[in-house]
Amino acid sequence: MKLRKLFVVCADMTRSFSALFRPGVLYALVALFLIWTVTPVVWVGIMSVQPEINYVAVPPHLRLQDVSLRWYSDMLAQADFADALKNSVIIATLTMVFCLFFGSLAAYPLSRLRLAGKRLFLFASVVMRMLPAIVLIIPMFLLIRLLGLRDTHLGLVIVYTTFLLPFSIWMLKNFFDQVPYSLEAAARMDGCSRLGALWRVLLPAVAPGVVATAVFAFIGAWNEFLFGLILSTSVATPVTVKISALVSSTFHTDTSLVAAAGMLAILPVVVLVIVLNRYIVRGLVEGVKY
């Protein structure tokens, strides 16, 4: 009995003080979270490589020999879907660039300069985003049409940037706030201009934060559906609209095809997140403090 207690105490002592879970419990939780996270995607992924009769059966009888990528090639062979994927990439990338550019230009004064109305601006931009976007569809459509930007990539980029800019500015400002001014002060004393200090000292100092903001803007633009539906006709249609078209279609669609389309629609973003995951995690975890 005593030995057991000793063993527990020793084991306890080797763990850090902030460890709140026993190892067994910890690994169980990790496993559960992993299952919770990947299951929906894996299931639809399985649906996208099996003929429908296999998983419509009760219980489903999935067979390895029926695995095929033909639904993916069928989906990509449809010109309008492939174009939609291209459109989403273009629009999301441009939105990300705009958000980073204008966002850092605006976050810099908010973080570093004395300005009247700073609080008002931050407050107003947060409050304005609380209005359900649906209400803005018609005026936005009229505005975009007036500017002749209907069904263009630029039109969608401007609208998406408008929605994502406030939060991007807020994120960048938070990152800037954590960098001590001394770095820029040193640069300025060496003759650097204020803007130069921004580009060459401040932004690089919060590089992970910048990446996190960039990914956030990219994903935000990629995910947008309703404005994409209303503001585009055929040229600039993003892939989210095509997904809805498949799901709300009034004719029989091969479910495996819809599953493949869904997978294709999230693939580029998933790849982006995986490739940049280190920066994202660092940016969000280390960059946002309260």
Partner 1 sequence: MSNPTLKQAPFLSRLSRRQFLKIAGASTFAAAAGVATGAPASATRGTTPAMAKHVAKPLDGQELNIFTGNHHDKYVRDLVIPMFQDKTGAKVNYTSIGGGDIDAKYAVFVASQDGSQDVLYSWETLNAKYGRTLMEDITTSFPAKTLQGIAPVTVKAFTFLGKRYGIPFDSNIFIMMYNKDLYKAAGLDPEKPPQTWKEFIAYSKKLTKAGQYATLFTLGDGNASFATFASMFNSTGSLLYNADLTKFSVDNEAGLMTMNAINDAITKDKVVDPTGLPLVSSIEQGKVFRAGKFAHYIAAPNHYTLAQDSTQSQVVGKVGMSIIPGLKLRSGSLGLFEGYGINKYSKNKVAALAFLDFMVSPEVQKNVVAINWGRPPSRLATYDDPDVQKASPQFAVVKQQAKFPAPRYGSPFYFDVGTVFSNYMNKMVKGEKTPKAAVTGIQADAQKLVDAYWAKVKK
Partner 2 sequence: MAFPTVSQRFQRMDEGRFGLLLMAPTIIILTVFLVGPILYAIWMSLNSMDLTISPDADFVGVQNYVQLVDDPAVQDAVPRTLYFAGLTVVFSTAMALLLALVLNESFRGRKWVRVFILLPWAVAPVVNGVLWRYMFHPQYGLINAALYALGLIKEYRVWLDNAAVSLAIASVASTWKALPFLALILLAALQSIPESLYRAAKMDGAGAWSRFRFVVLPHLRGILIFVVLLQIIVSLQAFDLIYTLTRGGPGTDTVVLNYLVYVNAFERLNLGNAAAMGILLALFIVGLSGLSLAFAVSRRR
- Site for partner 1, residues 206 to 245, rule: CB under 8 A: 226, 229-230, 233-234, 241, 244-245
Categorise residue 191: left if φ over 0, alpha if ψ from -120 to 50, beta otherwise: left
Name residues contacting partner 1, limited to 68-127 (CB under 8 A): none
Asked whether position 225 contacts partner 2 by CB under 8 A, the answer is: yes
Residue 7 or 123 having the CB closest to partner 2: 123
Q: How far apart are CA 110 and CA 211, in angstroms?
A: 20
Q: Which two tokens stand for residue 69?
A: 């990528």
The three-point CA angle 105-107-112 to 5° equals 105
**Shortest distance in whole angstroms from residue 141 CB to partner 2:** 9
* Type of residue found at 168: S
Indicate which of partner 2, partner 1, none lies near residue 251 (CB less than 5 to 8 Å, by partner kind): partner 1
- DSSP 8-state symbol, 147: T
Q: Which of 5, 14, 40, 251 is the binder for partner 2 (CB under 8 A)?
A: 40
Asked whether position 250 contacts partner 1 by CB under 8 A, the answer is: yes
Name residues contacting partner 2, limited to 144-183 (CB under 8 A): 158-159, 161-163, 165-166, 169
Total of residues contacting partner 2 (CB under 8 A): 98
Asked whether position 53 contacts partner 1 by CB under 8 A, the answer is: yes
Taking contact as CB under 8 A, which single stretch among the options 65-73, 115-123, 179-187, 200-208 is the one that binds partner 2? 115-123
Asked whether position 103 contacts partner 2 by CB under 8 A, the answer is: yes
- H runs (alpha helix) in 113-206: 118-128, 137-146, 153-178, 182-189, 194-197, 203-205
Name residues contacting partner 2, limited to 227-246 (CB under 8 A): 240, 243-244
Asked whether position 138 contacts partner 1 by CB under 8 A, the answer is: yes
Q: Which of 182, 248, 289, 290 is the binder for partner 1 (CB under 8 A)?
A: 248
SS3 content of the chain, % helix, strand, coil (to 5): 75, 0, 25
Nearest Cα neighbor of 286 from 184, 234, 208 is 208
User: Rg of the Cα trace of the chain?
Assistant: 25
Q: Which of 247, 270, 271, 288 is the binder for partner 1 (CB under 8 A)?
A: 247
Indicate which of partner 1, partner 2, none lies near residue 209 (CB less than 5 to 8 Å, by partner kind): none
Q: Which of 121, 150, 178, 201 is the binder for partner 2 (CB under 8 A)?
A: 121
Categorise residue 168: left if φ over 0, alpha if ψ from -120 to 50, beta otherwise: alpha
**Shortest distance in whole angstroms from residue 2 CB to partner 2:** 19
**Residue 255 · residue 69 · CB < 8 Å:** no
